[in-house]
Chains A and B, each alone.
Chain A
Amino acid sequence: MLRFLFGRLWQSLVLLVIVSVIGFAVLNLAPGGPLSQFALTPGMTQAQLARIAHQMGLDRPLPVQYWEWFTRLLQGDWGRSYRDNQPVLSVIWSHLMATLLLMGTSTLISVLIGTWVGVLGALRRYSIFDYAATVGAMVALSIPTFWFGLIAIYLFSLRLGWLPAGNMYTIGDGSVLDYAVHLIMPSLVLALVNVAVWSRYMRTAVLDVMNQDFVRTARAKGLTRWAVLTRHILRNALVPMITLLGLQLPTILGGALVTETVFTWPGMGRLFLDSLGYSDYPVVMGLLMLSAILVLVGNLMADIAVAVIDPRIRLG
């Protein structure tokens, strides 16, 4: 177990270094850059621009810039935002919780709904329900998340007036109930796609398990259908789903970012867009790194969870 953990951690670190090189290259090889912000100022001369570039260290060769950024990163210094000179980590930290809240709620909803849609689909295979769920999942996968958000806002905020159209809380309120009301629409919109994915895989997983001998044994020894389902089928079918959850993490995170832009949710997605608008490279780079870290940690946790739940799987 320990050897496995160290191996995976090592692999993840190597992957993070590759990710950082890709991110750095993408940002710095593209034309424009932070200087273009200053170039917009009226009366800016070429000499002044060159001086700013020198002060910001932008006139040095890229590998040198990368190396300095990287060594600082290792010491826990993620740089400072070009926009307001705040440390990148604290800027991101204040937005991280909002994104995690949205992702967490939405994932919980989609796992709960998706599991039951998948199980029912598998138990009543080729029924009208199963067919409707299949078609519904494919349509749900095809609706642009941001557009679905717009339509939801139109219906439930503008026409019916049931739910707030955006933001995470009402200024001056901020009670748990207030947060919950603001969470409903974005988390459900984000859950739509994930319910579709989850229910499809769940259906396959249950069908796989259902035809195995131990299920027949469980039935033969007279267990109720419910007991067979929860204690034997579900327990085994859910194991591969944990890995799926890990693999789906980038998609869920990406979806959360998309949802945030429509619902003006103050999370990492909005921060990313704002930072792009200001060419705030240190924050953009920090967000790219953090999302990669989140994804790698999520995958690692999924692997460990599978090993803990299913003793047949030996990590090594």
Chain B
Amino acid sequence: MTDMAFKADPAPTQRWWQRRAVRRFLRHRLALFGLAIIVLLVLACVVGPYLLPFDDLYIDLRARFAPPLTGSHIFGTDPLGRDLAARLFMAGRISLLVGFAAMLISTVFGSLIGILAGYYGGKVGAVLMRFVDAMLSFPSIFLLLALAAFIKPSPIMITVIIAATSWMEITRIVEAEIKSLRERDFIMAARTLGLSNGQIMFRELLPNAMGPIIVAATLTVARAILLEAYVSFLGYGIQPPLPSWGNMLNGAQQYLDSAPWLAIVPGVAITLAVTGFNFVGDGLRDALDARSDIA
């Protein structure tokens, strides 16, 4: 009898890039384009400051308001004669870092609440989801500004505040997903085997809900970068002299007529970064969601 032990065919060995999701993602031209933008931007922000002959804080009053391509100022200079390219790259480090960190915090927190609400359902779920509804019923920009205006703005606090106002969408997505997964047979099996609630939630349910979470997380980076830019633009976010893409735009409206590049350069950087993450998010959705057909 032991000789006849059931032997499953070994699954064909697959490299990670041969997996279906990866292949679908690679076929998505926009997503690859987005990925390229992100990689280039990150590279520019990491390496850029070392290649430029200027420091982002070096003030040169003789070179104020130099338009792009004067001498070695490729993007020109700002009202204090600081090199705009140097500031742009240093600002990119801050803005991208804030975006990523806010995404991490809100994804972890949002997923946790979503799993708890979806798994336990009933009263616990109702209370948690009503709280989410309440948070979603004022424009997040109001809440964000109210928090940012009264809290001492440091990059870490700004990150936490942005995360605090953008976890709700993820919670909604995860809750819906967990609710439908909870009824499947494999969860019944896990329960019969005597797995604890914690094990079922984080070992069985969470890995199966990873697809939508990854997609939502990517789009949250895009959102967080936009929110940081807006709050800093209004002067409540990252404080100068530390540059961020948002606070570089802060003074730009004043000089819109005489020095439009002050507004154009950081704005293009923000748009590129956000477009990149949105494209990648869209590609991931097509790759990870088995139901959707690739366009």
Q: Is there contact, CB below 8 Å, between B249 and A150? A: yes
- Inter-chain contact A272/B267, CB cutoff 8 Å: no
A288 & B146 in contact (Cβ 8 Å cutoff): yes
Chain A interface secondary structure, helix, strand, loop or mixed? helix
Give the docked Cα–Cα distance between A127 and B236 (Å).
45
Q: Is the CB of A295 within 8 A of B137?
A: yes
Please state if B270 and A272 are interface contacts (CB–CB under 8 Å).
Answer: no
Mark each residue of chain B from 131 to 146: 1 if its CB lies under 8 Å from any CB of chain A, else 0. 1011111111111011
Q: Establish whether residues A30 and B137, one from each chain, have CB atoms under 8 Å apart when the complex forms.
A: no
Interface residue B222 (Cβ < 8 Å from any Cβ of A):
yes
A242 within 8 A of B: no
Nearest chain B CB to A165 CB, angstrom units: 9
Judge if A199 is at the interface, Cβ distance under 8 Å: no
- Kindly supply a per-residue 1/0 record for chain A positions 14-34, scoring 1 wherever the CB is within 8 Å of any chain B CB and 0 otherwise: 110011001100110011110
Q: How far, in whole Å, are A52 and B284 apart by their CA atoms in the complex?
A: 56
Minimum CB–CB distance for B126 against chain A, Å: 11
A-B contact count (CB 8 A): 126
**Contact code string A277-295 (vs B, CB < 8 Å = 1, else 0):** 1010000100110011001
Contact with B along A247-264 (1 / 0, CB 8 A): 000110110011001100
Chain A residue at minimal CB-CB distance from B260: A154
Residues 145-172 of B, flagged 1 when their CB comes within 8 A of A and 0 if not, give: 1110111100000000000000000000
Taking a contact as CB atoms under 8 Å apart, the answer to whether B256 and A154 are in contact is yes
Q: For chain A residues 186-240, which have a beta carbon within 8 Å of chain B?
A: none
* Chain B residues positioned under 8 Å from A261 (CB to CB): 234
A143 touches B282 (CB 8 A): no
Contact B143 A250 (CB under 8 A): no
Q: Tell me if B138 and A288 are in contact (CB < 8 A).
A: yes
Q: With both chains docked as a complex, state the minimum distance between the C-beta of A34 and any C-beta of chain B, in angstroms.
A: 10
Q: Judge whether A19 and B138 touch: CB under 8 Å.
A: yes
Q: Is B193 an interface residue (CB 8 A)?
A: no
The CA-CA distance from A15 to B249 in the complex, in Å, is 37
**Could you tell me if B229 and A291 are in contact, using CB atoms closer than 8 angstroms?**
no
* Contact among B230, B249, B271 with A142 in the assembled complex (CB-CB below 8 Å): B271
Extra pairs beyond A144-B271, A250-B138, A288-B142 (4, CB < 8 Å): A26-B146, A33-B150, A147-B270, A150-B249
27 of the cross-chain contacts (CB-CB < 8 Å) are A15-B133, A23-B146, A27-B150, A31-B150, A138-B278, A139-B271, A141-B278, A142-B222, A142-B278, A144-B267, A144-B270, A144-B274, A147-B229, A150-B249, A150-B252, A151-B264, A151-B267, A154-B263, A254-B139, A254-B141, A258-B230, A273-B145, A287-B142, A288-B138, A291-B142, A295-B137, A296-B137
**Chain B interfacial positions (CB closer than 8 Å to A):** 30, 130-131, 133-143, 145-147, 149-152, 222, 226, 229-230, 233-234, 236, 249, 252-253, 256-257, 260, 263-264, 267, 270-271, 274-275, 278-279, 282, 295
